[in-house]
Amino acid sequence: MGSISDVAPAREMTVRPRLARFRITRDGLSTLVFLLPFLVIFGLFAWFPILRALVMSVQDTNLVSEPTFVGLENFQRVLADPLFGIAVRNTAWFAALALVFGFPVPIILAVIMSEVRRYRGVYSALAYLPVVVPPVVSVLLWRFFYAASPTGVFNTILGWFGVGPLPWLQSAATAMPSIVIEATWAAAGSTVIIYLAALVGVRPELYDAAEVDGASIWQKIRYITLPQIRNVLFVTLILQLIATSQLFTEPLLFTGGGPANSTMTVLLLIYKYAFQNSLGGDYGMAAALSLMLAAFLALFTAGYYWLTRRWSVDS
């Protein structure tokens, strides 16, 4: 099985004439012309900044004074910075919390909503609503909810049950979980829609057959639903892991990285390197840490892709 799929692409490549790659027909020219604006835009706003980041990572530059080449010194300084370890730990902590709480919630919501016969569109819209709220507005709203005084919105609600008041964003122990709750609320809608679309693709006869076999709801979810949407789950999982490692807006607006650096994430640290000093930031260090993060994510994604492909093939 495996050997056939390995051979097929190789044969296809040898059949194609080599010179054909360089022939640009009239259609090809039109394609190129239409492509040109996008190439320029990507070049300007994606590739050029990436190249600049590569250059800046080996420079001592604040974008104001003349830059000087410093080799790998920026990378060494990042690694020696005590905040680097803290930021990595906090980012991993957020990713873990988001995985435990944020990953299952959309699946559960999607499964429940797929079972609902009436008003499914309404529930989808409600689930998606937080996504269309601008992040800054969401955070400001949740900051208000998270007020640590006994009269804060959440603390008032907890008070009805004799719980709290909780410090929420005002304590190192609860700040990150508070951010995870808001982030899950804000992002779950998109994933719910993806899962709902995937669930629609599951053939109903599988459920019918399971029902005939006397399967419970949990068994149907466990043995039919989840395996059928496994590929979508893999993709959303990796997207979520990438997104969580790039957590920035929430800690910046909620806590500024505090209290006492407890919500200082890698991206926030990059921002601090670049913008904390009013006399010109350390853009070299910021670029170095950005590249380190990009390299980590690329390796992680490649490893994850390799693993999930193996799992898919094995199964």
Residue from 141, 260, 299, 307 in contact with another protein (CB under 8 A): 260
Residue from 261, 269, 270, 287 in contact with another protein (CB under 8 A): 261
**111 vs 288, which CB is nearer to another protein?**
288
**102 vs 284, which CB is nearer to another protein?**
284
What is the spatial distance between Cα 20 and Cα 307, in angstroms, rounded to a whole number?
Answer: 36
The residues pairing with 59 across neighbouring beta strands, listed in sequence order, are: 69
For residue 67, give the DSSP letter. Answer: P
Task: Give the relative orientation of helices 172-200 and 120-132 as an angle to the nearest 10 degrees.
Answer: 140
Which residues in the 265-284 window bind another protein by CB under 8 A?
271-272, 274-281, 283
Question: Tokens representing 85?
Answer: 């370890």
**32 vs 54, which CB is nearer to another protein?**
32
Q: Map residues 79-118 to x or -, x wherever contact with another protein holds by CB under 8 A.
A: ---x------------------------------------
Question: Tokens representing 153?
Answer: 């919105």
Selected range binding another protein among 26-34, 108-116, 229-237, 300-308, rule: CB under 8 A: 26-34
What is the spatial distance between Cα 273 and Cα 301, in angstroms, rounded to a whole number?
Answer: 26
If we measure between CA atoms, which residue out of 237, 221, 229 comes closest to residue 98?
A: 237
* Cis preceding linkage at 135, omega within 30: no
Q: From the CB of 55, what's the least distance to another protein, in Å? A: 10
User: What is the enclosing helix (H) or strand (E) of 68?
Assistant: strand 68-69
Name the residues that contact another protein, by CB under 8 A: 23-26, 28-29, 32-33, 36, 39-40, 43-44, 48, 61-67, 82, 147-149, 165, 167, 169-172, 255-256, 258-261, 271-272, 274-281, 283
